[in-house]
């Protein structure tokens, strides 16, 4: 069986800058990836395809796709796209981009104006995709305090339940990061399967593997198959016929050129030709079907039973980075069954018995070196120290407030100050900031974001610690205007220190 897994994620960008890093990143990904991907899945659903793929949507991305500010900003961005198309001096570019922007506006206004949850719900209800969830705010979980790690995961699953009416049983752990013991936390939270990178399973990704002594399965990304698509040296998106991501028309910001050649300067690149690109898509679909077939045959022969092949990618590859990606995906998911290849989700693989022997899964990730260096190396030592400090500050502040409550009578009421402290803490420790610094990708923005959220929680917690309850509440309200995601986050569900659990009356006001 073949399983395609897509991981959809962006950090919280709303109200934190626009360009070159900020909301522009969200709107480009929304227009180029999320809109066409959902349209592709809807067409497949209309044609009777089910269990097409496993779709991971992180809570922090889902929050932005539902956020009124982001929805308004996206609508404005699409209108601006159409205006830029009209301004293009090249007529073929102008016509092409006008048609694309007009179609995107129509789709957004008819299917997305009430948020991403509404757009995706029909696909989940129809069984077109399996939803994979994850923890709130995308932390690098192995380095997180266990109490905050458990809280983030459970709140993330509750967030998905609220948005889509179902709590995912599978997750894409942020950065595919794992450390022993997390499997018991997964089992306790109701997670039955999760993704790791291929090397974490020592390259044997032909079956899901129970982790340590649990029933929780780890599925590994098949690197030879996945790299056929997304390889810096030989992946499909680098083909000369495809639209070039890096070359812009500086007057309009539109992309007029094709890759042409890997060593061709931007000014020398040939104009983009959609017909040439479409023909190349067809060849790459046929090639990938052949790659999958041969891999399934060889792996089945190697293990002496039917094997599983899992190809996994960031969703943003399809459309945002690789313009023709959604077209390739649409044709691929039709071509695989037509070629006699069984397609299913990770949950299908689990229920159909694509399960091998248990594995003592070690510390791992899908980052450089397949270890933790990207998030815990020397380049980000300052962020590691910051994360430890803000986590300690936040947990101490919340526990101090809850001790005060325990000396009083009555049920524990919702504490919006504690909620915002934890919200800012989770934002501060998001894995994105260390990744961006380690990869030297908008490192200044990343460090600034981590420190902004750290400052917010320190300011709120400091006021609360000095008995200035009204000031703490005012600060929490002010910071919530920018960072008001996850409104159902409830600090009462944070496990107390020690072995016990102090969840309060979680259903209260």
Instruction: Compute CA distances 408 → 374, 411, 413, 472, 496, whole Å.
Output: 46, 9, 11, 20, 17
Block residue for tokens 């698509």: 229
Residues 6+ apart with CB under 8 A from 405: 412, 415
The β-bridge relationship of strands 209-210 and 217-220 is antiparallel
Q: Is 7 exposed, middle or buried (0-12, 13-18, 19+ CB in 10 A)?
A: buried
End-to-end CA distance of the chain: 47
| Non-local CB neighbours of 24 within 8 Å, separated by 6+ positions | 18, 77
Per-residue HEC secondary structure of 227-283 comes to HHHCCCCCCHHHCCCCECCCCCCCCCCCCCEECCCCCCCHHHCCECCHHHHHHHHHH
- Give 354's Cβ-side CA count (13 Å radius): 30
Q: Catalytic site residue 502? A: no
Cis amide bond preceding 139, omega within 30 = no
The per-type count for the chain, helices as H runs and strands as E runs, is: 18, 8
The catalytically annotated residue of 215, 314, 412, 474 is 314
Is residue 363 within 8 Å of residue 371, measured between CB atoms? yes
The string of DSSP letters for 22-77 reads SHHHHHHHIIIIIHHHHHHHHHHHHTT--S-EEEEE-HHHHHHHH-HHHHHHHHHH
In the structure encoding, which two tokens stand for residue 23, read together? 């909301």
- Nearest CA-CA partner of 386 in 422, 428, 419, 424: 428
Identify whether 175 is a catalytic site residue.
Answer: yes
Q: Dig out the tokens for 438 from the structure.
A: 């380690």
Contact 366, 175 (CB under 8 A): yes
d(CA 152, CA 422): 9
**Cβ count within 10 A of residue 1:** 18
Catalytic residue among 145, 175, 324, 348: 175
Residues classed as catalytic: 175, 314
């Amino acid at each position: 069986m073949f399983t395609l897994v897509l991981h959809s994620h962006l950090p919280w960008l709303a109200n934190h800058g626009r360009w070159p890093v900020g909301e522009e990143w969200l709107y480009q990904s929304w227009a180029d990836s999320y809109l066409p991907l959902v349209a592709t899945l809807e067409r497949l659903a209309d044609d009777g395809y089910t269990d097409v793929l496993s779709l991971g949507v992180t809570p922090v991305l889902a929050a932005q796709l539902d956020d009124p500010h982001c929805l308004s900003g996206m609508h404005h961005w699409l209108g601006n796209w159409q205006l830029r198309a009209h301004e293009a001096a090249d007529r073929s570019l102008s016509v092409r981009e006008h048609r694309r922007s007009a179609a995107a506006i129509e789709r957004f206004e008819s299917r997305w104006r009430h948020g991403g949850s509404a757009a995706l719900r029909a696909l989940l209800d129809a069984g077109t995709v399996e939803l994979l969830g994850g923890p709130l705010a995308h932390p690098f979980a192995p380095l997180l305090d266990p109490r905050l790690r458990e809280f983030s995961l459970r709140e993330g699953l509750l967030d998905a339940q609220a948005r889509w009416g179902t709590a995912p049983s599978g997750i894409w752990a942020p950065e595919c990061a794992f450390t022993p013991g997390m499997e018991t936390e997964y089992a306790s939270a109701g997670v039955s399967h999760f993704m790791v990178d291929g090397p974490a399973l020592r390259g044997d990704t032909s079956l899901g593997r129970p982790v340590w002594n649990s029933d929780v399965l780890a599925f590994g990304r098949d690197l030879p198959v996945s790299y056929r698509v997304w390889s810096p040296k030989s992946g499909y998106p680098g083909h000369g016929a495809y639209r070039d991501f890096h070359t812009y028309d500086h007057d309009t910001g539109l992309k007029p050129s094709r890759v042409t050649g890997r060593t061709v300067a931007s000014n020398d690149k040939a104009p983009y030709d959609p017909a040439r690109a479409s023909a190349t898509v067809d060849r790459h679909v046929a090639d990938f079907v052949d790659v999958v077939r041969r891999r399934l045959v060889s792996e089945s022969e190697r293990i002496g039973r039917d094997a599983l092949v899992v190809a996994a990618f960031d969703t943003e590859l399809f459309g945002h980075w690789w313009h023709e990606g959604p077209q390739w995906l649409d044709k691929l998911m039709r071509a695989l069954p037509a070629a006699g290849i069984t397609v299913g989700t990770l949950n299908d693989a689990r229920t159909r018995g694509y399960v091998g022997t248990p594995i003592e899964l070690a510390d791992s990730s899908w980052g450089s070196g397949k270890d933790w260096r990207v998030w815990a190396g020397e380049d980000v030592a300052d962020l590691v120290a910051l994360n430890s400090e803000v986590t300690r500050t936040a947990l101490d502040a919340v526990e101090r407030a809850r001790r005060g409550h325990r000396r009083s009578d009555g049920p524990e009421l919702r504490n919006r100050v504690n909620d915002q402290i934890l919200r800012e803490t989770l934002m501060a420790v998001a894995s994105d900031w260390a990744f961006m610094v380690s990869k030297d990708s908008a490192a200044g923005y990343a460090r600034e974001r981590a420190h902004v959220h750290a400052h917010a929680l320190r300011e709120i917690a400091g006021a609360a610690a000095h008995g200035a309850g009204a000031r703490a509440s005012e600060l929490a309200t002010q910071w919530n205007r920018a960072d008001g995601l996850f409104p159902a986050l409830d600090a009462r569900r944070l496990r107390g220190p020690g072995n016990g659990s102090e969840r309060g009356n979680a259903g209260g006001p």
